[in-house]
Structure formats: C-alpha cells, structure tokens
Amino acid sequence: MRLAIGAAVLLLCCGLVSAAPKLREYKDGKEASDAAKELGSMNGNSRKALFQQWKQNNGKDYADNSAADRAAFAAWSDNLDAVVEHNKKSGVKFFKGLSAYSDLTFAEFKDKWLMPDRPVSDIPVVPSAKKFSPGGSRKLKQTPPLEFDWRARGVVPPARNQGGCGACWAFAGLGAMEIKARIDGTQLNPDLSEQQIVDCAGGGVGANGFGSYGCNGGWSNDAYGYVAKLQAVKETAYPYTGVTGTCRDTSVSLDGSLTMTAQPGFQGVINSAQAIMQAVSSTGPVSHYFNVQDSFYYYSGGIYQASQCTADTYNHAMIIVGYNATAGIGSPDSYFIVRNSWGNWGVDGGYIKPSSVSSTIASAPHSLINGYKNVLAVAVETDYSFPLAEKVKAYLADPFAFASTDAPAAGSGDAPAAAAAAAPEEEEEDEDMGFSLFD
C-alpha cells in the first residue's frame, strides 16, 4: 500500500513537472499575462527543455546541437523574449505567441514567406466607377449586419499553407473563388490548384497575358483573370510544389481535372470598413493586400492593431471572410475575420482579427485599403458548355467596358441554371455593383 501511494505521488509530481506554459492562441489578456510571467521566470535549462518540446510538437527535424539547431534556438529564444515583453504589458489589445515558424527571425521569415515589398502603384488599377461602395445599389443601401462570418455557414475550407513561397496572391485569389463557389451553391466543393496559377499566371509581365511573378509575388487579379480566360484544375491534378515552375498544358484535360470557369468579374472595394463589411455580408469573401510587419508575425490572439505601418508598399495577400462590429464600426474593438495561408498560424486554425477602425485603416496591414485595390470574386460556376472565346476576348480587351447586356440572356439556355436563377436579383444591381460576364 505504501509503495502504491508513493507511485501515485510520483506520477502526480511528474505530471506537474511536465506541464508546460501555453505558448500561443491566448483567449484573453489574463491568460497571456499569466503565461508571460511563467515563461519569463524560466532558467536556461527550462527554456532549452521547452524548446525541445516545441520542436517535437512542430515536427522540426534538425539534429540536437547541430549548427541549424543552435541557430534555431537563438531565434526561438529571442522570439520568446519578444512574446513575454509584449504580453506582460497591461491594456494590450492583441497577444503575441510562438508559431511553427518561431525558429526563424522575422527577417528570415519575411524572405521565405512574404512577397518582396512592392509599391502600391504596381497594383492594377480598378476604375473608381466600378468600386464596391456603400449605397451604390439596392442591396448596398441596406445596413450590413453587425456581425457576419462565412465560416459559420459551412462554406470556408481550412486555411491553406503556401510554404516558403511568396504565392499568397494566388492563395487569396483562388481561396476566394473556392468559397464563392460554395456560397453560390455549386455541387462540387473544389480544392483548386494554386500551383497552376503560380506557374501559368506568375511568369512575369507578359506571361500568358498576366504580370505576376510566381513565388516572388503578384496580384489576386491575375488569379481571377487566369481562371476566367482558361480554367482552374483541382489540386490533385496539379499539386503544389512551392516553387515557380513551367506552366503545364491545361488546354487538354489533366488526369483528375475539374473544368471550372469563373465569371471574370471582380470589383474594387473602397477604403471604408463599412464597404468591406457590406461586400462580405452581401456578396462574398474579399481578397485583400496587406503590409505585414513583425508584430503581425507574432499574432496569437486578440484584436490586432499595428503600431506603425507604411501605406506605400505591400507584401502579402489574404481573404476577409467575416467581421464583428457589435462594439460599433467606429470602435477599436470591432474587427475583420481574415484567413491567412500559413497553415495553423494565428488563431482558429489560421486566422487573424485586425481592428476595423478608421485610425487602424490608416496604419495597420489590413487597412492598406487606402491604396490597395481589394478584389471581390463575383461568382464561380462549373461545367460551362457554351463557347466562351468571343466573350472572353471582349472581357480581356477592356473588362470594365464589358457591359452585362452583352452576356447571354437569363434562361436562354446558354448560361448555367444557377446563373439564370440568380439573374433577376443581379440585373437590378449590375450598373452599380460592377460588371459580370454571365449575369
């Protein structure tokens, strides 16, 4: 009996010793602050043991005490210090944590995972007349709901992982199309090939008529345009490699391919939190360009606000799938719900919640709406059977001059049933909401 009790006590003590402080995804300031105090009090051996546990949890395979291991521990330890220093402060709105990438300095992470900084002037211009704005149509004159989340409607797949390739622009474009396909009630739940877009729309200016740069950055506009001009295939047919490759011929059916032609329609969204909220709640997800800085890299809970941010450059793109403005659109406690493409990073399996207040719109990554032209996927449909060549040619020549009256009439037999069924509601709004090819 004495031995049994001793064993039980030993097991209990071992359990207490093995418990590690939480490293990420804090639910509130108290949890973040308590973890910061515990982490900050660790001695060198305890910190090294925690690093070993972090390595195991995140599948890091560099050998113990190798040069790579020592460099990783140095970066990880510095990042842990930054987390502790931030989270122990009172009144912070967002919390920092350690992710699967915390064995890299921010400079190393930026070099591998972000697009090179590009000037806002490089972003393709969306004419102001075709920007999605409050009060621009019958639907938009309605006040958006105070909170909205497409995830709650079961149409948002898990966050993707772009790896060490600056292809966020392709993930943001295709991701919005995948979600919009589900919103529009298509029978298939597509997982489209980002690699196809990286290879075929990312070969530099003039490549296939597009100007993006594969793993060196680009524009979600090109993802929309490429799918509209040609087709998108399934991920299984054109797997992701994370490097810019040679475009494979998709004019013939690839094994396991999905023929999917999108309405070649997207709109700019004006630099207004309310406009984004209306666009998201009434139409669908918004692909958006950001300027990511080191505080963003550490994000692990709360409502993100950047202390400073340039409005002259961008280096990332993500998808806005919802928002919460129950505190009021003008409150710093209102936020957007944004899906990233870094796998299980941030919160909720790959998300960040940046503040939506106008002061943040001038300074935080999501707010680069001031200069950035946010693109909105209009629709995705499957199995178009009618000839597209002439209409696509007209669209590519001048998308914003392409009138909806040039499209097939609803119910004519040319357009899919889903597009025909939606036509009566959309016809009233085409003039204000922008063009679409098949409405």
- For the segment 310-319, what is each residue's pLDDT rounded down to a tens digit? 667 788 999 9
**pLDDT at residue 362 greater than cutoff 90:** no
Per the listing, tokens 């928002």 go with: 323
Give the tens place of pLDDT for each residue, 340-350.
Answer: 999 999 999 99
Single-letter amino acid, residue 173: G
Residue 119: per-residue pLDDT: 76
The residue from 316, 324, 366, 374 that is catalytic is 316
Mean pLDDT calculated for residue range 132-142: 50
CA distance 416 to 182: 16
Q: How far is residue 426 CA from its own chain's centroid?
A: 27
* Helix (H), strand (E) at residue 118: strand 118-119
Per-position DSSP letters for 357-397, written without gaps between them:
-HHHHTTSGGGGGGT---EE---EEE---S--HHHHHHHHH
Structure tokens at 399: 């998308």
| Residue 86: active-site member | no
- Coil vs helix vs strand at 40: helix
| Residue 309: active-site member | no
**pLDDT at residue 274 greater than cutoff 50:** yes
What band does 50 get if pLDDT is binned at 50, 70 and 90? very high
Mean pLDDT calculated for residue range 36-63: 94
Q: What is the DSSP letter of 32?
A: H
More confident residue, 69 or 253: 69
| Nearest to 318, CA basis, from 184, 243, 180, 220 | 220
Number of H helices, E strands in the chain: 14, 14
The residue from 165, 168, 200, 247 that is catalytic is 168
Structure tokens at 290: 């950001």
Give the tens place of pLDDT for each residue, 170-221.
Answer: 999 889 888 887 887 765 567 889 999 999 887 665 556 678 889 999 888 8
Neighbours of 239 (CB within 10 A): 11
**pLDDT at residue 56 greater than cutoff 80:** yes
Percent of the chain predicted with pLDDT > 90: 41
CA distance 108 to 91: 30
Residue 208: per-residue pLDDT: 62
Q: Are residues 162 and 315 in contact, defined by beta-carbon separation less than 8 angstroms?
A: no
Residue 249: per-residue pLDDT: 66
Q: Are residues 231 and 381 in contact, defined by beta-carbon separation less than 8 angstroms?
A: no
- Looking at every residue in the chain, the average pLDDT score rounds to 72
**In a 10 Å sphere around its CB, with 0-12 CB exposed, 13-18 middle and 19+ buried, how is residue 373 labelled?**
buried
Q: Are residues 113 and 98 in contact, defined by beta-carbon separation less than 8 angstroms?
A: no
Give the tens place of pLDDT for each residue, 117-136.
Answer: 887 767 665 544 444 455 44
Q: Are residues 226 and 174 in contact, defined by beta-carbon separation less than 8 angstroms?
A: no
What band does 377 get if pLDDT is binned at 50, 70 and 90? very low
Count of CA atoms in the C-beta half-sphere (13 A) of 119: 2
- Coil vs helix vs strand at 232: strand
CA distance 246 to 243: 10
Structure tokens at 63: 């050998």
Structure tokens at 358: 């106008």
Residue 33: per-residue pLDDT: 95
Single-letter amino acid, residue 73: F
Q: Using alpha carbons only, what angle is made at residue 366 by residues 285 and 151, rounded to the nearest 5 degrees?
A: 35
Structure tokens at 335: 């936020």
CA distance 80 to 135: 47
**pLDDT at residue 60 greater than cutoff 50:** yes
**pLDDT at residue 397 greater than cutoff 80:** no
What band does 142 get if pLDDT is binned at 50, 70 and 90? low
Residue 424: per-residue pLDDT: 31
**pLDDT at residue 356 greater than cutoff 80:** yes
| Pairing of β 375-376 and β 286-290 | antiparallel
Query: Among 84-93, 100-109, 374-383, 397-406, which is the least confidently predicted range?
Result: 374-383
Residue 205: per-residue pLDDT: 54
The residue from 324, 340, 366, 374 that is catalytic is 340
| Residue 340: active-site member | yes
Q: Are residues 113 and 299 in contact, defined by beta-carbon separation less than 8 angstroms?
A: no
